[in-house]
């Protein structure tokens, strides 16, 4: 469970940089974030 949170921090940091620092979110970064989120969903424990 800790590894899921650890990997999700990257996406949260990207969103915070966009909101607070006005960093540009390119298509490449968006695709990377999408792959990370997909990996998190695949590896999440099933109830």
* In the chain, domain spans: 2-43
- CB-based burial, 5-42: b 16+ in 10 Å, e otherwise: eeeeeeeeebeeeeeeeeeeeeeeeeeebeebeeeeee
**41: phi then psi, degrees, rounded to nearest 5:** -65, -35
Q: What is the pLDDT of residue 44?
A: 87
pTM of the model: 0.81
pLDDT tens per residue, range 19-47: 999 999 999 999 999 999 999 999 888 87
Q: What is the pLDDT of residue 2?
A: 80
pLDDT tens per residue, range 2-17: 888 888 899 999 999 9
Answer whether residue 1 shows pLDDT above 80.
no
């Amino acid at each position: 469970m800790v590894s899921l949170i650890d990997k999700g921090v990257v996406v949260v940091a990207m969103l915070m940089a966009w909101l607070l620092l006005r960093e540009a979110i390119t298509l490449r970064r968006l695709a990377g974030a999408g792959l990370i989120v997909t990996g998190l969903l695949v590896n999440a424990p099933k109830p």
